[in-house]
């Protein structure tokens, strides 16, 4: 099994769900529709042997029409192949959970919710995992200036300005 086989299988079974595919840093990546992520994940696990969900994380692209993404990293241990799926989301981000397909997704989805506010629908316990529960914002979103403009102790001469 190689990447060409995996790509051909996914293109054959899910022709309308795949928006883009490309390789980068030795790992094939597919951008897919969020409505098909569960079906694709099941196919990867059951038919193509990607039994290990290595990572799941959120990304915020603040200047984009689809400002959020969830990136899934799958691993086929027998064939020693890694595969990446990307799902882009709107400003009200939500996607179906994979926690019942890959048990490792449980905590990774909670962490992604905690830091990016991405709602994983159907998750059994989607609550904050690292931040305090009364936090009223999502700290990894790029919504705030990098510097505090109200600081009086900052001297721009020391920062090359």
pLDDT value at 136 more than 80: yes
DSSP state of 64: S
- Average model confidence (pLDDT) across the chain: 92
The span from the CA of 45 to the CA of 27, in Å, is 17
pLDDT at site 161:
60
pLDDT tier for residue 26 given thresholds of 50, 70 and 90:
confident
pLDDT value at 105 more than 80: yes
Task: Indicate the pairing of strand 81-89 with strand 27-32.
Answer: parallel
- Mean pLDDT, range 29-55, rounded to an integer: 96
* Cβ atoms 99, 105 nearer than 8 A: yes
pLDDT value at 143 more than 90: no
Q: Left if phi > 0, otherwise alpha if psi is -120 to 50, otherwise beta: which for 158?
A: alpha
The alpha-helical segments, DSSP class H, found in 19-124 are 37-46, 105-116
pLDDT value at 158 more than 80: no
CA angle 139, 140, 142 (to 5 degrees): 105
Where do the structural domains in the chain lie, given as residue ranges?
3-159
Return the CATH superfamily for domain 3-159: NADH:ubiquinone oxidoreductase Nqo5 subunit (3.30.460.80)
| Cβ count within 10 A of residue 98 | 26
pLDDT at site 102:
97
Reported as half-sphere exposure (CB side, CA atoms, 13 A), residue 28 has a value of 19
pLDDT at site 9:
94
Q: Nearest-CA neighbor of 6 among 105, 85, 108, 124?
A: 85
pLDDT tier for residue 159 given thresholds of 50, 70 and 90:
low
- pTM (predicted TM-score): 0.88
List, for residues 60-92, the tens digit of each pLDDT value: 999 999 999 999 999 999 999 999 999 999 999
CA angle 127, 131, 137 (to 5 degrees): 85
């Amino acid at each position: 099994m190689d990447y060409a086989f995996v790509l051909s299988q996914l293109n054959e079974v899910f022709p309308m769900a795949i928006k883009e595919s490309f390789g980068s840093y030795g790992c094939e990546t597919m951008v897919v529709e969020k409505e098909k992520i569960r079906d694709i994940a099941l196919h990867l696990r059951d038919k193509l042997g990607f039994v290990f969900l290595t990572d799941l994380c959120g990304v915020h692209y603040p200047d984009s029409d689809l400002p959020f993404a969830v990136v899934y990293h799958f691993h086929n241990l027998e064939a020693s192949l890694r595969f990446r799926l990307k799902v882009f989301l709107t400003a009200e981000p939500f996607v179906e959970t994979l926690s019942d397909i890959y048990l490792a997704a449980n905590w990774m989805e909670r962490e992604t919710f905690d830091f990016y506010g991405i709602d994983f629908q159907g998750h059994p316990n989607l609550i904050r995992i690292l931040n305090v529960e009364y936090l009223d914002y999502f700290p990894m979103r790029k919504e705030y200036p990098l510097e505090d403009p109200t600081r009086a102790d900052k001297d721009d001469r020391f920062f090359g300005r």
